[in-house]
Amino acid sequence: MNRLSFFASVIALGVGMVLGFYGARQHHLPNLSPPVNDVSEITDGAFRDGLYLGKLAAEHDNGPHVAAGRWSTAADRASFSAGFQRGYSEVLASRAAPSPNRARQAE
């Protein structure tokens, strides 16, 4: 009886592993985040701050006024400016790109 339990456990474990590997291979989640050119951009507070404020400025139709003086070092100011410009241009580009909803409404 002990032998039968052991073989049943081994077979169940093997089937579970095969199904687990097969399922993991078949279900890939799409990458929802935009591609990152440099990992340091993600971890740089000045860049992320500029990215956020650039998106806000573009969404509220404010001009591209980069207030980099809030950062003390030249490297942080440059990083903030780069993030601001990217965030601002991303929002403007998304407005200019035709969306599927706009195409349906035009028909």
- Extents of the domains making up the chain: 41-98
What is the reported pTM? 0.56
- Give me 8's structure tokens: 């049943």
Rounded to a whole number of angstroms, the CA Rg of the chain reads: 25
18-36 tens-digit pLDDT: 666 666 555 555 555 555 5
- Give me 105's structure tokens: 């409404």
Task: Kindly state the helix (H) or strand (E) to which residue 47 belongs, with its residue range.
Answer: helix 45-59
Provide the residue-wise pLDDT of the chain in tens; the chain has 107 residues: 688 787 778 787 777 776 666 665 555 555 555 555 667 777 889 999 999 999 999 998 888 778 878 889 999 999 999 999 999 998 888 887 776 655 555 55
CB 53 within 8 A of CB 86: no
pLDDT at 81: 92
CB 81 within 8 A of CB 50: yes
